[in-house]
Structure 1
Amino acid sequence: MNLKSTIQSILFVAAAPVSLNKLAKALGAKKEEIKKALEELRAEHQNSGIILLEHGEDYLLSTNPENAKVVKEFLNAELREKLTDASLETLAIIAYKQPVTRTEIEAVRGVNSQYTLRLLAMRGLIEKIPDPGDARQNLYRTTHEFLQHLGLSSPRDLPDFEELTSAVKPPEGFDNLKPA
């Protein structure tokens, strides 16, 4: 296993900073080995668009602050565009299964959904709330703004899931998408 590459992958998909302890435990490595790999990552990304942020013993990959203006303009332009198929798919999963974890969303979609979730949250269509059953993760649910866009007063007013899916065979992976 390439420790540095594996750490980079974990930090890339993580929605929040990851602690040194969590990395060491997940990878079965000593803290010193993890720190060495993190320092190598930091050096490699020094002049990159992606940088390694460190706060105490928590680590996160982030965009380089030097690119903040361009990144902000890009994201604002994306917010003005129509929702992508990935966004609509993610929004449908959240609407019918809410509240739902990112892991559950990704299990249905089969891909990392961090970017899509971030865009939906920036548009005000979903919100992240603490999971009362597991303080380490969050739940996602639709917002009042989502309901307003659809002209609904409650998620219960969404079209009946069973009725919708009985007319159309769901795509592969969606057969387990029953409303919560």
Structure 2
Amino acid sequence: MASKEANLEALLYAAGDNGLEEQNLTEMLEIDGESLDKVAQNLQQKLTQDADSGLQLIHIAHTYKLTTSPQTAKIIEKYFQKDLTKNLSQSALEILAIVAYRQPITRVEIDDIRGVNSSGALQTLVWRGLIKADGKKDAPGHPKLYVTTDYFLQYFNYHSLADLPLIEDFADNDSNGEIDLFEAKGTADKQMQKEEE
């Protein structure tokens, strides 16, 4: 059975950037606030003593978070400067487009549209922060529903999903019906301007 420290570490890892508030942690770990402080101190000590650990535990505004440690700043900066889309496979880009236009959507529904298994590329997109699981479908097995993230909008310079190119633009485009949805911001607006002229 996992220790309280291991459970706290796992919960904070799963919570990601948002972290977890003290009240939620005391309920999930089934301990009081004083015990939570002690468990958190033990975990922080463990992470600090491990010279190879790239993580640290922080406590801000009644919220605990796992973050990268200061000594890993250079590699983390390098990671965020990297163009995450350059190494995305064609299948990952296809899935990203499907999720963008059909969200919320399950993996099985994505597989049906593409005709092949999409689980590997789907997980890559989740890892890259471009899509996320957001609830479950009311269907047998309760499969996860996937949607694009705020990071997706930020990265491709969209203010909202309404800025995505219209589906009609894919068929009307001069380049044999092909259009790059990730470089087509404003295409719909330009088309409307042409029609008005």
Normalising TM by the smaller chain, what interval?
Answer: 0.5 to 0.7
What residue number does 2:73 align with? 68
Letter in structure 1 aligned against 2:99: I
- Specify the code of the residue in structure 2 equivalent to 1:76: Q
Change (3 A) 1:89 1:34: farther
Unaligned stretches of 5+ residues in structure 1:
128-140, 155-180
TM-score (normalised: structure 2): 0.52
1:10 alignment counterpart: 11
Per-residue CA distance 1:68-121 (angstroms, 9 max, x = gap): 1221112322425233556764663353225x9743288246xxx9xx958646
2:144 paired residue number = 107
CA distance in 1, matches of 2:157, 2:57: 29
Letter in 2 for 1:81: K
Secondary structure at the counterpart of residue 79 of structure 1: coil
Residue 57 of structure 1 aligns with which residue? 62
Q: Larger C-alpha radius of gyration, 1 or 2?
A: 2
- Tell me which residue corresponds to 2:34: 32
Q: How does 1:1-180 map to 2 (within 5 A)?
A: 1-2=1-2, 3-15=4-16, 16-46=18-48, 47=51, 48-79=53-84, 81-83=86-88, 89=95, 92-97=98-103, 102-104=133-135, 107-108=144-145, 120=152, 123-124=155-156, 142=161, 144=163, 147=165, 149-150=180-181, 151=184, 153=188
Amino-acid identity (%): 16
Aligned residues: 135
- Conserved 8 A contact 1:11-1:61: yes
TM-score, normalised relative to structure 1: 0.56
Calculate the aligned-residue CA RMSD, in Å: 3.8
Report which structure shows greater RCO (CA 8 Å, sep ≥6).
1
Q: Residues 73 and 36 from structure 1, CA distance in 2 versus in 1: closer, same or farther, beyond 3 angstroms?
A: same
| 8 A contact 1:53–1:60 mirrored in 2 | yes
Structure 2 Cα separation of the partners of residues 153 and 6 of structure 1: 49
Counterpart amino acid of 2:72? N
Q: Tell me, which stretches of 5 or more residues in structure 2 are unaligned?
A: 105-130, 137-142, 166-178, 190-197
- Cα distance in 1, alignment partners of residues 22 and 67 from structure 2: 17
